[in-house]
Amino acid sequence: MGQALNVLGVGSESLLKRRSLLDSQWNRFVSGVSAGAPLPVRDDIVSSWQRSAQYTQPRHGSAPADDLYVTQQMWKDSILSQAVQREQEQITQLAKEGELVAGIADTQGRLLWTLASRHMRSRAESVNFTAGGWWDERSVGTNAVGLSLNLKRPVTVFSSEHYQPFVHDWVCYAAPILHPQSGELVGVLDMSTTWRRHTPLGQAAVTEIARSIAQGLPQSLPKAELEIYALGQARVIFRGKALHLPLRQVEILALLALNPQGLSLEGLHAALYGEQSVSLSTLKAELSHLRRILDGQIGSRPYRLQISVWADFVQVWQALHHNQTSSAFSLYQGSLLVQSNSPELEEWRHCIDAVMDKALGSCEDPTLLMDKLCKSTGGSELVRERLAELVDKPKW
């Protein structure tokens, strides 16, 4: 396939004409000359340019980038890492023969892994198309990674279709990696080279490999980078791996999940300890330990989680609030952290239990109750009582 990409390229004269036209239209757009007038450019590119103009300005330079060590750890823990291993030989061969740089981005547009041919290595490094580089639209405007994430379909971005001048010499092919069972977006595969090497076969090859990567994904996906189960038996999963945490640290994570806007040190102390005579330095030490466990993903001033979070107690409360009884029953495995004496968590525990009791008491569906009874021990006594009431209820 790599040889085919080289041999069956587009004629240089045709590419030059296309680039010249795009250069002209890009200049019209960024200068404001085209305001209100239609551009002879693809609709998805124009829409992306319009979004990009709200986020960033055209500049010479590179994409923003995260710390390489942290990114490498994220890649190691990512479900994509295992799936890509099966296709790595093919990607390596394609990159070498097609003189490409390949990259895998997460759902935020951050590159977790790249592999470059000699032709593209220095070019990729100069613009941070490397592990840790951010290629979402908000960071660098129109590009194949960001556009594929936005549209959730394969895209090609050629030369000056890119919003930033520092990638106008590139052509990039990207395809979303979609979970084969759920259809959920897991990441994006991108393969890029210089614009004169553009070939229509590039997009087809990348789309095919992205599908192959998706086939190697585990059958069930993590709900978020951090999953907190605190109804009944407490457990915490970080990037697909179970963490063995003491109750106090689970309490801190639960409080941060309940306060996504963040908490001051004093606010978190009050929510966690109440009137207990525990020093602020003790809480700081707990937070420092948790930050190390979560690869630094706890911010400060205010203290907040900086990764995607899913928590069963948040989900059950939302389900109850929207009268989604079936969802609430499946989520509720027992009271919220029954051993916790955190004032805020105690309040949440009582609220969830009270609303759950009310939902059970008003449930008129024996099948739903039986399903709940069979799948969980949480609240089983209440479920049995309600079932007994329905069985004994006179039928008129």
Of 319 and 148, the structure prediction assigns the larger pLDDT to 148
Distances in whole angstroms, Cα of residue 105 to Cα of each of 153, 243, 330: 14, 25, 33
d(CA 278, CA 281): 8
Average pLDDT over every residue of 184-206: 95
pLDDT band at 364 (very low <50, low <70, confident <90, very high): very low
Query: Does the structure show a pLDDT above 60 at 304?
Result: yes
- Bridge-partner residues for 311, per DSSP? 228
Q: What is the pLDDT of residue 7?
A: 39
Query: Does the structure show a pLDDT above 70 at 335?
Result: yes
d(CA 79, CA 72): 13
Contact residues for 118 (Cβ-Cβ < 8 A; gap 6+): 99
- For the chain, give the percent of residues with pLDDT over 70: 87
pLDDT band at 355 (very low <50, low <70, confident <90, very high): confident
What's the Rg (C-alpha) of the chain?
A: 26
Q: 111-116 and 155-158 as β-strands: parallel, antiparallel, unpaired?
A: unpaired
Lowest mean pLDDT among 24-33, 165-174, 384-393: 384-393
Query: Does the structure show a pLDDT above 70 at 9?
Result: no
- What pTM value is reported for the model? 0.63
In degrees, rounded to 5, the angle at the alpha carbon of residue 330 between the alpha carbons of residues 327 and 331 is: 85
Query: Does the structure show a pLDDT above 50 at 300?
Result: yes
Average pLDDT over every residue of 316-321: 86
Give pLDDT tens digits for 214-239.
999 988 777 888 999 999 899 999 98
Of 14 and 253, the structure prediction assigns the larger pLDDT to 253
Query: Does the structure show a pLDDT above 60 at 4?
Result: no
Q: Tokens standing for 98?
A: 């097609």
Hey, CA dihedral for 301, 303, 308, 312, is it positive or negative? negative
Q: What is the pLDDT of residue 387?
A: 40
pLDDT band at 320 (very low <50, low <70, confident <90, very high): confident
pLDDT band at 390 (very low <50, low <70, confident <90, very high): very low
d(CA 274, CA 346): 11
Q: What is the pLDDT of residue 328?
A: 82
Contact residues for 141 (Cβ-Cβ < 8 A; gap 6+): 48, 49, 52, 53, 55, 56, 58, 162, 163, 164
Query: Does the structure show a pLDDT above 50 at 8?
Result: no
Average pLDDT over every residue of 351-376: 61
pLDDT band at 340 (very low <50, low <70, confident <90, very high): very high
Q: Tokens standing for 246?
A: 């003491």
Q: What is the pLDDT of residue 223?
A: 85
Helix (H, G, I), strand (E, B) or coil at 243: strand
Query: Does the structure show a pLDDT above 60 at 252?
Result: yes
**H-type helices in the chain, by residue range?**
2-7, 12-31, 43-55, 68-77, 79-85, 88-98, 118-126, 137-140, 144-151, 201-215, 247-258, 265-273, 280-293, 312-321, 325-331, 343-362, 366-375, 380-392
State the average pLDDT for the chain.
Answer: 87
Q: What is the pLDDT of residue 366?
A: 43
Distances in whole angstroms, Cα of residue 287 to Cα of each of 94, 237, 344: 45, 17, 18
Give Cα 249 distance to the centre of its chain. Answer: 24
